[in-house]
Amino acid sequence: MEDLTSPKQEKANQDPGEAGRPWEEITAASSQSPESGLSEPLELEHGLETGPQLRRSPPQSPQSRASTPLDDLTGPGTSSPPSLPQEGSYTPSSPALTRQDLAVPWQSDKTSSVNPEAGTPHFHHLEQSSDKGELTASQTCQSEGTNFQQSLQTKHHLYGPEDVTYNNCKQKELRFNIFEEEDSNSNYDLGHTEPGVSEVAPSMLEIAIQSAKAYLLKTSSKSGLNLYDHLSDMLTKVLDERPENAVDIIESISQDVKMAHFRKKLDTLQNENEMLPTYEIAEKQRALFLQGNLEGADQELEDEIAENALPNVMESAFYFEQAGVGLGTDETYRIFLALKQLTDTHPIQRCRFWGKILGVEMNYIVAEVEFREGEDEEDVEEEEVTEERDDADSEADEDDEDELPRNFYKAPQAIPKEENRMGANKYVYFVCNEPGRPWVKLPSVTPAQIVTARKIKKFFTGRLDTPIISYPPFPGNESNYLRAQIARISAGTHVSPLGFYQFGEEEGEEEEEVEGRRDSFEENPDFEGIQVIDLVESLSNWVHHVQHILSQGRCNWFNPIQKSEEEEEEEDEEKEEEKGEETDYIEQEVGPPLLTPISEDLEIQNIPPWTTRLSSNLIPQYAIAVLRSNLWPGAYAFSNGKKFENFYIGWGHKYSPDNYTPPALPPVYQEYPSGAEITEMDDPTVEEEQAFKAAQEAAVLSAEENEETEDDEEEEDDYDQE
């Protein structure tokens, strides 16, 4: 069989143009060889060896390929049936592994060399190695490589077939190569693989080898090479050039092979833009850094306003960093720039970095803003329009006249929301998901939203239009819920050192609705500052400067029974019957007034609501006071005596040591009590009717004179009933 192949190969060498085709011929011939009896010199061995191989040759499947080297191992004399136990014995022996591994590249070369061009250089190697073959014959037998196999072939050719003692392993190698060849050819038509599966079941080892090979064949996305080809190229090069101490320069050989590799950069139709989101946000943030240069004409005016409006975010971030909270420096700076963008594009009088609320998909960066005079009236009007529309609907309902009783359940009176710049709507909040993305103004908060928000606990998703699905139905989407939580957190955790703010004297006349309570304050120009130590040691040195939100959902009490003037105007038309004349006067709800020390805050089940800390114990003279809210985890405040700032970062939820419990169901409405109006009398019996008839007749007889009038009445009744 080898006799057959080597002349063929020689022929192939002489005729490189036909290199592709002869191989197929060879393989075909090799499988036929025993029958045809062409390989006379080796018949003895072939009788032993080719038998099993032939049996396995038809499958031509990867499995059979994997089991082929096994036979090489089993040695010359032994007949080797292709059984699985032998594969097991084959596993640990490293020479077999190398041989297998190295035989495979050969095959892969061949798989790629279906086209005659690629096949040609291969045979060229063959010739080369045949020149050197005699010198290194004994080593190459033990060593490895594609060239080894080639040299084997050529050597065999040189020494002639009669040298049977030469080495059986060589022959087997050769035969193995041939089978590899067959296999690689068979890879092209899949139909051949099926019988192999039925004959030899895939073992774990084979699967492992397959997956390892697949891993090696994985093409690098950068260079387009794969390790498999690279290793085979390297070994080819080593065996071609035969350097001294090849192991020492293997790295540079590897490098050489890589450098010699040439591949045309192919044009692909698709543009590569897989990193798009990264660039997109970078592009947006670039605008933040460039905005300073944009202003041209009225720069001075803008600057004047901007100076007032823009908070010094970096300074407070520095202090918060001392306290161990806050965002990273670069993110803070981006937010700072984003705030500048906000103040430049809106008529903003005062701006503050409120904090960051974490969401499941995206986060919210929140800015607290006070508009200058002449802010957004338009959306106030819009809301009034919608309210009127609601009224119109209810009136239309009333116009229908029908006999059936109407539903006289009236929804509890909606508590109107507070005016802009008042109470919980004192500030306007802008949010964005990331600095650089556009700021979105949150709608103003309504008491109903606050009341409901107190009863639910939901994670923010990061998309403002997400519906909030909860048990007490939440009136609004996530933007409203976010706004309600911001209002609650602000009311609970915005604190300042005692004396920093004082009540504004001149604004008294504005507060008409609030009897005896003041809801505005101004900075105290004579504020002296407080010792940091005092701020840490006593909670009474900190005061709330945001109004407490009543359980009604408003900061300022709204009496739902005696309506305020505007309300009356709206609802005058609607109904007169049950006006607020009923005497049950609801007592006005009162919360702690403004500028109440936080030492009066309620405890949460023996847990103090605030924790104070000195930022550094090592250098107390330059430390700052840090205040941490235990009620709203994530809310912090610092003060260095003169300055202070509040900051929130967290999930936007209130702390409670107990589990969240959904609110209880509303009471079930009792049915109408069974009374005189509900129950009916029994039907009149015959006796009763007869008695009644007799009585009537008696009455008729006795009162002849009144007859006419009674008849009239009866007639009228009948008429009515019809």
Partner 1 sequence: MDAESLLLSLELVSGSGQGLSPDRRASLLTSLKLVKRDYRFDRVLFWGRILGLVSDYYIAQGLSEDQLAPRKTLYSLNCMEWSLLPPATEEMVAQTSVVKGRFMGDPSHEYEHTELQKMNEGEEEVVVQIKEETRLVSVIDQIDKAVAVIPRGALFKTPFGPIHVNRTFEGLSLSEAKKLSSYFHFREPVQLKNKTLLEKADLDPSLDFMDSLEHDIPKGSWSIQMEKGNALVVLRSLLWPGLTFFHAPHSKNCGYIYVGTGEKNIDLPFML
> Applying CB under 8 A, does 213 fall inside the site for partner 1?
no
Comparing CB distances to partner 1, the nearer of 230 and 458 is 458
Comparing CB distances to partner 1, the nearer of 352 and 356 is 356
Query: What track of x and - describes contact with partner 1 for positions 261 through 300 (by CB under 8 A)?
Result: -------------xx-xx--xx--x---------------
> How many degrees, rounded to 5, is the angle at CA 260 between CA 217 and CA 142?
60
Comparing CB distances to partner 1, the nearer of 260 and 469 is 469
Rounded distance, CA 50 to CA 492, Å? 90
Comparing CB distances to partner 1, the nearer of 223 and 696 is 223
- Contact with partner 1 (CB under 8 A): which of 24, 134, 303, 361? 361
The 10 Å Cβ neighbour count of residue 127 is: 14
- Least distance to partner 1 from the beta carbon of 658, Å? 7
Q: What is the DSSP string of 542-585?
A: EEE-SPPPPTTS-SS---SSS--HHHHHHHHTT--TT-TTSS-P
Q: State whether the Cα torsion 428-432-437-440 is positive or negative.
A: negative
Of 600, 588, 532, 542, residue with least CA distance to 561: 588
* Structure tokens that stand for 553 in this block: 């959902």
Comparing CB distances to partner 1, the nearer of 331 and 511 is 331
Site residues for partner 1, 644-673, by CB under 8 A, read 649-651, 653, 655, 657-660, 662
| Distances, alpha carbon 408 to alpha carbons 101, 235, 405, 466, 584, in Å | 89, 94, 8, 35, 20
- Least distance to partner 1 from the beta carbon of 16, Å? 42
- Contact with partner 1 (CB under 8 A): which of 127, 144, 199, 321? 321
Q: Are strands 644-650 and 348-357 parallel, antiparallel or unpaired?
A: parallel
Question: Are the beta carbons of 219 and 108 closer than 8 angstroms?
Answer: no
User: CA 149: distance to chain centroid?
Assistant: 55
Of 119, 105, 126, residue with least CA distance to 20: 119
Query: What track of x and - describes contact with partner 1 for positions 102 through 141 (by CB under 8 A)?
Result: ----------------------------------------
- Least distance to partner 1 from the beta carbon of 487, Å? 19
Comparing CB distances to partner 1, the nearer of 524 and 611 is 611
Site size for partner 1 (CB under 8 A): 53
Comparing CB distances to partner 1, the nearer of 550 and 624 is 624
Q: What is the DSSP string of 152-203?
A: HHHHHHHH-TT-TTS-HHHHHHHHHHHHHHHHHHHTTSGGGHHHHHHHSPPP
User: CA 65: distance to chain centroid?
Assistant: 46
- Least distance to partner 1 from the beta carbon of 346, Å? 25
Query: What track of x and - describes contact with partner 1 for positions 438 through 477 (by CB under 8 A)?
Result: ------------------xxxx------------------
Site residues for partner 1, 477-496, by CB under 8 A, read none
- Least distance to partner 1 from the beta carbon of 359, Å? 7
- Least distance to partner 1 from the beta carbon of 607, Å? 6
Angle between helices 250-260 and 227-241 (to 10 degrees): 110
- Contact with partner 1 (CB under 8 A): which of 310, 323, 339, 486? 323
Site residues for partner 1, 575-614, by CB under 8 A, read 605-608, 611
Interacting residues with partner 1 (CB under 8 A): 274-275, 277-278, 281-282, 285, 321-329, 331, 356, 358-363, 434, 456-459, 605-608, 611, 615-619, 628, 630, 633-634, 649-651, 653, 655, 657-660, 662
